[in-house]
């Protein structure tokens, strides 16, 4: 598979990475259809924040679930998923409206 990886300040590489596998019962593998670079990705890119290299970029994405671990029950293979890091955004009105709760980390929806 292909991935955009951050190796250090202003050092981004698009490279081949190993195909993911289910390692834990709570894992899911998602084929990414689209992703975006978030503002939080720009801090380490600019060298303002340190990060361990290499780090994948684009943690806000949508795609199709390929495989799920045995403990995953809220999505299923062929289901569509959208995820963004809510964090502090979940504390605001828009974060609660779209994420669905004050402590949401991700929004998922099986739209199939």
φ, ψ (nearest 5 deg) of residue 24? -125, 155
Architecture of domain 2-86: Alpha-Beta Complex (3.90)
**Does residue 93 surpass a pLDDT of 60?**
no
Percentage of residues in the chain having pLDDT higher than 90: 26
Query: Quick check: 97 pLDDT over 50?
Result: no
What pLDDT is stored for residue 92 in this prediction? 42
Mean pLDDT computed over 56-76 = 87
Whether 28 shows a pLDDT value over 80: the answer reads yes
Which of the residue ranges 16-20, 74-78, 93-97 would you say has the lowest mean pLDDT? Answer: 93-97
Q: How far apart are CA 84 and CA 61, in angstroms?
A: 7
Evaluate whether 67 touches 77 at the Cβ level (below 8 Å): yes
Rounded to 5 degrees, what are φ and ψ at 52? -80, 135
Rounded-to-integer distance, Cα 87 and Cα 76, Å: 25
Of the candidates 65, 66, 62, which has an alpha carbon nearest to the alpha carbon of residue 106? 62
């Amino acid at each position: 598979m292909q991935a955009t990886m951050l190796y250090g300040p202003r050092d981004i590489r698009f490279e081949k990475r190993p195909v993911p596998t289910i390692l834990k019962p709570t894992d899911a593998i998602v084929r990414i259809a689209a992703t975006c670079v978030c503002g939080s990705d720009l801090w380490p890119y600019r060298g303002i924040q340190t990060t361990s290299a290499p780090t994948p970029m684009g943690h806000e994405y949508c795609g199709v679930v390929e495989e799920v671990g045995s403990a995953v029950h809220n999505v299923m293979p062929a289901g569509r998923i959208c995820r963004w890091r809510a964090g502090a955004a979940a504390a605001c009105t828009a974060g609660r409206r779209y994420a669905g709760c004050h402590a949401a980390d991700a929004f998922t929806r099986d739209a199939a």
